[in-house]
Structure 1
Amino acid sequence: MPKVSVIMGVYNTNDEKMLKQAIDSILNQTFEDLEFIIRDDGSTDNTFEIVERLTSEDQRVKLLKNTKNIGLAATLNKCLENAQGKYIARMDADDICSLERIEKQVSFLDNNKEYSLVGSNATLFDGESEIKTRKMPEFPKKESFLFNSPYIHPTIMMDSEVYKILGGYRESKETLRCEDYDLFFRLYTLGYKGYNIQENLFKFREDNNAFKRRKFKYRIDEMKVRHKGFKSLKLYPKAAPYLVKPLIVGILPIKVLKLIKNAK
């Protein structure tokens, strides 16, 4: 059995160059004892065929397909059902890993048994040029959840047994765009700890399309997830001002939001 299972959902991502960059960055890792589980979420274009062609020569790839579109959380849960690794690593189809990412994260979890999750810092890029570094808290604590999620979802690696204890990703309307935030809230509620490697082991795409996907209705859903999480972590009353943050961000024009994010 492989030591690491990398899981990735794809949906209508028929940009071959982008898919190749993402896939190659996993298959060319310095750590080779892995399987790469890619599940197409019922794409209506030729995404599945592109991925099939790009991965056909590597036996470590398991390419699967949903009969209909069911969303990222449910798709990742189906990936987890097929995962055999001791550790589960996330990947997204529009991002790029450092070639040493998996090796460094495995080494960290192997040598720091008190942690169940490890992420990293990331370089933000728009597909062409690098924008800035997103530095994450090295030792996230429950207060780290107040403003934003303290982990960048596609950078994480987690113990597979902990994924099972959590029951995977919560599949609901309100977690449609924040299944990761919800997962991390539940992880910390159960007393588990995580760590962020203070290196840029990932290139995280943040272009205009990424901003356009963040519709206002998803901001309302995020507020609901925040409320549940803040309550479970006993962050009230301190958390009260942070509850409406998604709504404030949701009414800002994309240009203004980009300026704020890039200035951080």
Structure 2
Amino acid sequence: MSQNSLVSVLIPCYNCEEYVEEAVMSIIKQTYSNLEILVIDDGSTDNTGNILKMLAKEDPRIIYIKNEENLKLIATLNKGLNLCKGKYIARMDADDISLPTRIEKQVNFLEAHPEIGIVGTYIQIFGVRESIWKMDTKDKYIRAHLFCNSSFAHPSVMMRTSILRDNHLYYNTDYPHAEDYKLWCDIAQYTKLANIPEVLLFYRINENQVSNKYNKEQKETAQRIREEYINDFLAERNVPIRFIAQNTINDIQKLKHYIKERYILDKLLLVWYDSLENGKEIFKRLITSTDILNLGIKNTSRIFFRKVIKKR
């Protein structure tokens, strides 16, 4: 295994004294050792800073950075991106645990696949609930999944620094609480995407996470990202339909004339269906009524919609 390529591991930290030592130690103990570990204390008011300074004294690869005031996550991440010196940037959260071979396997993957600019991994969720999150692994399916939601577990990703630098890509402050999802959509314009089909990170779920504290704002931001990403895709294909949550059944049905890939149609349908508060009622009327569409179109629509919506 070659360790010539420097990897920058970026770990924003805020009031995480309970978990941060375990998280950083999981990076220190990686089988891949050519690392710089940037730990950014975003104005913590607990013992986080002292723990990070202690760890920095014990391992010279750790670079301790302190924000004099709480800049919040997006600004802290962007500050970190500017400071990273490695060929690759690996993300890591201060309450998660990377398995020992994570960095090694991601570096080897990117070295072997120069067309790939970002690679994530499967994750083991633990904490208030437990499960394994298995993402799509192939580029075309990852892109299709971006119509619905993030295709990566944020703290599991490793990115080519050159993709970010060459295209001036950062986390966008206009998309709070879903900034990672927006970044993946932006990166997808310039490179291929992948996930390694192996659990290489333990992802902690707790009650203080963004998805719990800012659930409503996160959903609204994610919906805006979906519609922008989908409409960019439709425009590139010269599809004369603008995708919004208020599209009618007939609007969605027309997509079949322009998009032949079933896996793409399925994702678009799921986004549209999930966007409607009365989605289940719409589907019920679609497959039972005769006053919405004529029988021929209704039967076609039944086939088109049923398998996808049954997944909900």
Structure 1 length-normalised TM: 0.84
1:34 — aligned with what? 35
CA distance in 1, matches of 2:125, 2:275: 21
1:155 — aligned with what? 156
CA distance in 2, matches of 1:231, 1:169: 21
1:7 — aligned with what? 10
* 1:117 match: secondary structure: strand
Quick one: percent identity of the two aligned structures? 34
- Aligned structure 1 segments of 4 or more residues deviating by more than 4 angstroms: 235-238, 243-248
Structure 2 residues without counterparts, runs of 5 or longer: 236-241, 244-264, 278-311
> Cα offset for 1:24?
0.6
1:183 — aligned with what? 183
2:196 — aligned with what? 197
Query: Residue 29 and residue 186 in structure 1: after superposition, are their counterparts in 2 closer, same or farther (change >3 A)?
Result: same
> For the pair shown, which has the larger CA radius of gyration, 1 or 2?
2
CA distance in 2, matches of 1:73, 1:122: 23
CA distance in 2, matches of 1:234, 1:13: 42
Q: Which moved more, 1:140-149 or 1:236-245?
A: 236-245
CA distance in 2, matches of 1:182, 1:109: 22
| Contact 2:171/2:180, CA 8 A, preserved across alignment | no
| Contact 2:7/2:35, CA 8 A, preserved across alignment | yes
| Contact 1:151/1:196, CA 8 A, preserved across alignment | yes
The answer to whether structure 1 residue 139 and structure 2 residue 138 are counterparts is yes
CA distance in 2, matches of 1:186, 1:161: 14
What is the Cα-based RMSD across aligned positions, in Å? 2.4
Aligned pairs for 1:1-264 (under 5 A) are: 3-15=6-18, 18-126=19-127, 131-141=130-140, 142-172=143-173, 174-190=174-190, 192-210=191-209, 211-234=211-234, 237=243, 239=268, 242=271, 245=274
Query: Residue 73 and residue 234 in structure 1: after superposition, are their counterparts in 2 closer, same or farther (change >3 A)?
Result: farther
Higher relative contact order (CA 8 A, sep 6+): 1
> Cα offset for 1:146?
2.3
CA distance in 1, matches of 2:276, 2:153: 21
Structure 1 residues without counterparts, runs of 5 or longer: 249-263
| Contact 2:148/2:270, CA 8 A, preserved across alignment | no
Query: Residue 64 and residue 168 in structure 1: after superposition, are their counterparts in 2 closer, same or farther (change >3 A)?
Result: farther
> Cα offset for 1:244?
7.8
* 1:70 match: secondary structure: coil
CA distance in 1, matches of 2:87, 2:145: 27
* 2:119 match: secondary structure: strand
Amino acid at match of 1:61: I
Amino acid at match of 1:11: Y
CA distance in 2, matches of 1:246, 1:212: 20
| Contact 1:125/1:131, CA 8 A, preserved across alignment | yes
1:34-66 Cα distance to aligned partner (Å, 9 max, x none): 100111112233321122123321000111011
CA distance in 2, matches of 1:246, 1:30: 44
* 2:170 match: secondary structure: coil
Query: Residue 171 and residue 188 in structure 1: after superposition, are their counterparts in 2 closer, same or farther (change >3 A)?
Result: closer
> Cα offset for 1:241?
5.4
Query: Residue 166 and residue 45 in structure 1: after superposition, are their counterparts in 2 closer, same or farther (change >3 A)?
Result: farther
Q: Which moved more, 1:36-45 or 1:98-107?
A: 36-45
Query: Residue 233 and residue 52 in structure 1: after superposition, are their counterparts in 2 closer, same or farther (change >3 A)?
Result: farther
CA distance in 2, matches of 1:193, 1:14: 37
CA distance in 2, matches of 1:60, 1:48: 17
> Cα offset for 1:232?
2.5
Q: Which moved more, 1:69-78 or 1:206-215?
A: 206-215
* 2:116 match: secondary structure: coil
CA distance in 2, matches of 1:144, 1:101: 24
Q: How many pairs are equivalent?
A: 243
Amino acid at match of 1:242: V
* 1:208 match: secondary structure: coil
CA distance in 1, matches of 2:114, 2:62: 28
| Contact 1:189/1:232, CA 8 A, preserved across alignment | no
